[in-house]
Amino acid sequence: MSPVVGSAFFLFYLLALCNASGADIALDAKATLLHRIDSLNLLIYTCLLTLTVLTIWVFKHRRVSWLHETGLAVIYGLIVGAIIRYASSTNQVTYIDAHPAPDTKYNLSVPPDILRFRFPDKIQISSGDTVPNKTYAYSFRGEIVNLEQNEIDLKATFDPEIFFNIILPPIIFHAGYCLKRKYFFRNLGAILTFAMVGTALSALVIGALMYGFVQLMPASLASSFTFLDTLYFGALISPTDPLTVLAIFSQLKVDVNLYAMIFGESVLNDAVALVLSGAIQNYEKRYSVDGGFEITAFLAAIGDFIGIFSLSLLVGALLGCFTALMTKFTHVRDWPLLESALFVLMSYAAFLIAEVFELTGVVAVLFCGICQAHYTYNNLSSDSRNRTKQLFELLNFLAENFIFTYIGVSMFTFPKHHFDPWFIIAGFLTSTLGRAVNIYPLSFLLNLGRKPPIPMNFQHMLFFSGLRGAMSFALAIRNTVSEARQAMLTTTSLIVIATVVLQGGAATHALAYLRIPTGQGQNDENEALPYRDVRSLYQATDSGRPETPRSGEAGEKARLARLWGALDSRLLKPLLTHARPPLTETLPGFLSPLARILTTTRQYTQADNSLRRTDSDSDLCLDEPQPVPTSIDPQLSFSLRNGYGNV
């Protein structure tokens, strides 16, 4: 080879290297830009949450009660979303058009998970020799609605799975962990009726009415909806999120039984709605041939609902009980940081295990939280008790406000909204009717056998507390491929915003209008989770004046609750915690060897009432409440606050 040819070959080789390095530099610049946009996106939400916190402090300092923190988060999100949408430049997203090969064997009716682009080789360094280019993989994101999008528009919207896997679990776990179990079990019949029967009934009514409304709409929209679509909309819009109302109840010390019914229903109907929506989706995919009604498919869907809910509950309860056993029979409490880490990881594992086995993680993590609070909490060191309470209270606060902020932002930045005024109006009307069907007929049936009955002003407040929130939005945004699902998302977002801002802001006026007594609660330090000072007189007449319960009425509880309380105090609590009486006194004699293994030295040596003072709900509903005097003297008030009395 001559020196000239060699030099030319070397020159071409250097040129190829330079071009390759230029491509790498361009890719690095693109990665840096995306990193900056991601950081800007997170900074926007961080600033929004910071602004919300500061405004909440101002409102609390000025005693402003007409707007709650979630309403603030929504309003701030709407403002920032409008700024991003209308004040940012466009044409920053680069794209090329790609078409599938004519002989492709892939089913083109469903988009592929990944597209692999093989760019042609462009650089030839000698005859027949080329520098191989790279192959890039692009993941499926969704249907393109508008090509003229800003990069920040795309980054300001998150993958819906983030809500289910990261944002929702701490919210749901916190709901179970802070549940006032004593009052929950005292109103268990009403809570289960409203949460399970009422949610299913509400979904059916909303779905049927919406299907009728859709048939009256223009053919372009009506053709995209089936009855299963409207039934799915009924399931996702039925769960309530009365966070705003409950916070006001806490501040004003509203009747604790009304609080327990509203909070207990909202805790359970989130889980019920999620399982119900999954059963509706499975009805068409697994059972029905054409999506029409089939009795066998309907019964199979009901069995699917019951089975998934029960197995998810079992997974959460088992993980909670397993954590209690680990904290009881190990000395991990000697290292509170490790103990707290174990508690958090086991709780999150309940959610993930349920999801892996195609169950419902929300149900699992809810009942895991209830078991962790009732059993594991008693085994934790004092540092871990305080740390876990404060940690999940903080995570719940941030996650709730983040979701409501995102709802506001996404109204302008999410590209798949479909605004149809008739569908939106129908959604508002049917969701209101569905809530009424949930409360009033079921309250009438409950009052036939309930003593004392649910007063009419309590029923009105239960109806008014039907705010929609995080769960409805998360279910709506999970799938927005079709036009029908896009219309559902838009309508759900507007219903959430309207109920949180308007109904939440009017909660105080509703209490006054319905003459529900306030300011009668007592502080309860042992239940010092988010709504720590809800404690009040039990009964309220329709006129709003408290009265002393008649003999035997306030103490009458469901037989199931009493049986559960006896089983819990004599078997489960001694097994999973250091509570007395020890298993050696409660188990049959032939199980004495096993009882001695499962009983710790601490259970033999501690006083009988030492555990009860650390767990205010340890008695569940075993203790019959005494008649409440119409006036409470300071000494009695002090004893009630410190857990030595029952209201």
Q: How much is the pTM?
A: 0.77
Q: Stretch 327-340: mean pLDDT, rounded?
A: 91
Q: Stretch 378-405: mean pLDDT, rounded?
A: 92
* pLDDT given for residue 429 in this prediction: 95
Q: Which residue has the higher pLDDT, 571 or 348?
A: 348
State yes or no: pLDDT of 303 exceeds 70.
yes
State yes or no: pLDDT of 83 exceeds 60.
yes
* pLDDT given for residue 313 in this prediction: 93
Report the C-alpha gap between 168 and 475 in whole angstroms: 11
Which amino acid belongs to residue 421? Answer: P
Q: Which residue has the higher pLDDT, 267 or 122?
A: 267
Express as a percent the part of the chain with pLDDT over 70.
Answer: 71
State yes or no: pLDDT of 555 exceeds 90.
no
Structure tokens at 552: 């035997």
Q: What are the residues facing 126 on neighbouring strands?
A: 129
Report the C-alpha gap between 624 and 647 in whole angstroms: 9
Structure tokens at 610: 């030492």
* pLDDT given for residue 350 in this prediction: 95
> What is the CB-side half-sphere exposure of residue 195 using CA atoms within 13 A?
24
Q: Stretch 616-635: mean pLDDT, rounded?
A: 40
pLDDT winner (highest mean) among 45-49, 154-158, 323-327: 323-327
* pLDDT given for residue 199 in this prediction: 92
Lowest average pLDDT, out of 7-21, 283-297, 421-435, 538-552, goes to 538-552
State yes or no: pLDDT of 552 exceeds 80.
no
Token pair 């701490």 in the structure block, residue = 170
Q: Stretch 121-130: mean pLDDT, rounded?
A: 55
Written as one string, the DSSP assignment of 441-508 is HHHHHHHTT-SSPPPHHHHHHHHHT----HHHHHHHHT---SHHHHHHHHHHHHHHHHIIIIIHHTHH
Phi/psi of residue 135, nearest 5 degrees: -105, 130
Q: Stretch 617-632: mean pLDDT, rounded?
A: 40
Structure tokens at 206: 């909303």
State yes or no: pLDDT of 349 exceeds 90.
yes
* pLDDT given for residue 119 in this prediction: 63
User: pLDDT of 218-235, one tens digit each?
Assistant: 777 777 888 888 999 999
Rounded to 10 degrees, what is the CA torsion of 90, 93, 99, 104? -140
Residues 6+ apart with CB under 8 A from 493: 407, 410, 411, 417, 473, 476
Model confidence band, residue 24 (pLDDT cutoffs 50, 70, 90): low
Model confidence band, residue 383 (pLDDT cutoffs 50, 70, 90): very high
Token pair 């060191």 in the structure block, residue = 381
Q: Stretch 581-604: mean pLDDT, rounded?
A: 84
Burial environment of residue 189 by CB neighbours within 10 A (0 to 12, 13 to 18, 19 or more): middle
* pLDDT given for residue 541 in this prediction: 36
* pLDDT given for residue 554 in this prediction: 38
Q: Please, what is the average pLDDT of the chain?
A: 76
First-to-last alpha carbon distance for the chain, in angstroms, is 102
Structure tokens at 316: 């959460």
* pLDDT given for residue 588 in this prediction: 84
> 384-400: buried (b, 16+ CB within 10 Å) or exposed (e) per residue?
bbebbbebbbebbbbbb
Express as a percent the part of the chain with pLDDT over 90.
Answer: 23
Q: Stretch 511-519: mean pLDDT, rounded?
A: 84
Written as one string, the DSSP assignment of 67-107 is S-HHHHHHHHHHHHHHHHHHHS-------------TT--S-
Model confidence band, residue 120 (pLDDT cutoffs 50, 70, 90): low
Model confidence band, residue 117 (pLDDT cutoffs 50, 70, 90): low
User: pLDDT of 282-299, one tens digit each?
Assistant: 776 666 555 556 677 777
Structure tokens at 532: 């720590």
CB 459 within 8 A of CB 487: no
State yes or no: pLDDT of 181 exceeds 80.
no
* pLDDT given for residue 546 in this prediction: 39
Strand 129-130 with 124-126, pairing? antiparallel
* pLDDT given for residue 296 in this prediction: 76
CB 501 within 8 A of CB 269: no
* pLDDT given for residue 646 in this prediction: 32
* pLDDT given for residue 125 in this prediction: 52
Give the Å distances, CA to CA, from 333 to 378, 387, 460, 596, 628.
Answer: 11, 13, 47, 22, 40
Structure tokens at 490: 């838009």
**Over 527-589, what HEC string results?**
HCCCCCCCCCCCCECCCCCECCCCCCCCCCCCHHHHHHHHHHHHHHHHHHCCCCCCHHHHCCH
Model confidence band, residue 492 (pLDDT cutoffs 50, 70, 90): very high
* pLDDT given for residue 60 in this prediction: 78
Question: Is the bond leading into 452 cis (omega within 30 degrees of zero)?
Answer: yes
Token pair 């000697």 in the structure block, residue = 334
State yes or no: pLDDT of 382 exceeds 80.
yes
Reduced to 3 states (helix: H, G, I; strand: E, B; else coil), residue 240 is coil
* pLDDT given for residue 133 in this prediction: 60
State yes or no: pLDDT of 6 exceeds 70.
no
Report the C-alpha gap between 565 and 559 in whole angstroms: 10
Model confidence band, residue 530 (pLDDT cutoffs 50, 70, 90): very low
Report the C-alpha gap between 508 and 501 in whole angstroms: 13
